[in-house]
Amino acid sequence: MIQFIIGEKGRGKTKVLLEKANNEIKNVNGNVVYLDKSTQHMYELNNKIRLIDMTTFPIKDSDEFLGFICGIISQDHDLEYVYLDSFLKIAKLEENGDPVPVLKELEDISKQFGVHFVVSISLTKQQLPEQYHDAVIAEL
């Protein structure tokens, strides 16, 4: 399953994503990972959530990003949730990249491995492809 928190840049998506992650950790039996573009929110996350600063890894494009996601899943068979903050930036799609193929691949990965993805993405509902409108859990 893939869910979205959407809105223009600077609208408070990260705060909503952090709250959701911190609330979800109370209800899961497995592990939760939070991917971000820095360690700025380290102390806002529950200490049971693994924060990964994506800028510390030499990821050059969206294919490498998807490989990185698969690597995380392969090393943690108890992984239940992956929170992706600043999705366009960490997935290397910020400069005119089409998010649809990457999102489709994340959907396939989710189904295959039973991992839920919650994505914070700087798009409005009109910019988000229509097939994902039902997966929006917060629009800011």
- Which pLDDT does position 97 carry in this prediction? 77
- Which pLDDT does position 25 carry in this prediction? 95
Intervals of the chain under pLDDT 70: none
Return the closest-CA partner of residue 21 out of 85, 74, 106: 85
Query: CA torsion angle for 56, 53, 117, 90 (degrees, to 10)?
Result: -60
- Share above pLDDT 70 across residues of the chain, in percent, rounded to a whole number: 100
- Which pLDDT does position 52 carry in this prediction? 97
- Which pLDDT does position 96 carry in this prediction? 72
